[in-house]
């Protein structure tokens, strides 16, 4: 059995620490002043999903059709609770149990960092690229507007691309596993409302 060298792990540990510190610093009012992000679209979502929530509470089952949305919409586009416990726990662990929706920013940092590593970018340069991606104006504005599903999809897409790249670069099992996990994590974004 090979010994794991600290020098091989050190840049990745530093990356995770940097991502965590930047996330906590950027969202310090949430962490230290007990404030929350006012997300207008989430308030709209709560109204749009009211009939499904009421049906869920009354019957204990999931409704499959939201009749109050645009003359009807499939419920999975509005509010449907999936039984995906292991995947949800994977996301929680991956985002270090940060509160929602801030965990999507940390996930964006981490996923883009992995993407850059998959393409052979040096770790410390990959940290800078991941910070630029996660703190881009579109991600921050989308988060403040309440576009949690969209920001979650953006956050996990680099992981999908990294997995596909690895699969076609000769690392088929690693690429397949990474792509599978990334696509499974995409399913968790709807349940985060």
Segments of the chain scoring below 70 in pLDDT? 1-2, 40-43, 45, 69, 71, 76-78, 80-84, 188-193
For residues 37 and 101, the answer to whether their CB atoms sit within 8 Å is yes
pLDDT for res 193? 42
Whole-prediction pTM value? Answer: 0.82
Contacts of 106 (CB under 8 A, 6+ apart): 19, 20, 23, 95, 96, 98, 134
pLDDT for res 96? 93
pLDDT for res 189? 65
pLDDT for res 32? 84
Pairing between β-strand 65-66 and β-strand 73-74 as defined by DSSP bridges: antiparallel
For residues 90 and 67, the answer to whether their CB atoms sit within 8 Å is no
């Amino acid at each position: 059995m090979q010994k794991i060298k600290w020098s091989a792990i050190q840049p990745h540990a530093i990356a995770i620490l940097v991502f965590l510190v930047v996330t906590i610093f950027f969202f310090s009012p949430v962490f230290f002043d007990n404030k929350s992000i006012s997300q207008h679209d989430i308030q709209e979502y709560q109204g749009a999903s009211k009939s499904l929530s009421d049906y869920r509470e009354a019957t204990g089952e999931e409704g499959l059709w939201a009749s109050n949305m645009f003359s009807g919409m499939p419920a999975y586009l509005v509010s449907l609770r999936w039984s995906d416990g292991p995947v949800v726990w994977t996301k929680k662990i991956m985002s270090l149990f940060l509160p929602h929706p801030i965990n999507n920013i940390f996930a964006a940092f981490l996923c883009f960092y992995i993407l850059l590593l998959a393409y052979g970018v040096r770790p410390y340069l990959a940290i800078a690229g991941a910070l630029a991606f996660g703190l881009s104006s579109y991600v921050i504005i989308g988060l403040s507007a309440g576009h949690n599903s969209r920001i979650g999809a953006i956050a996990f897409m680099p992981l999908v691309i990294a997995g596909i790249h690895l699969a076609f670069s000769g690392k088929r099992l690693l690429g397949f596993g990474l792509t599978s996990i990334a696509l499974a994590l995409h399913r968790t974004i709807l349940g985060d409302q």
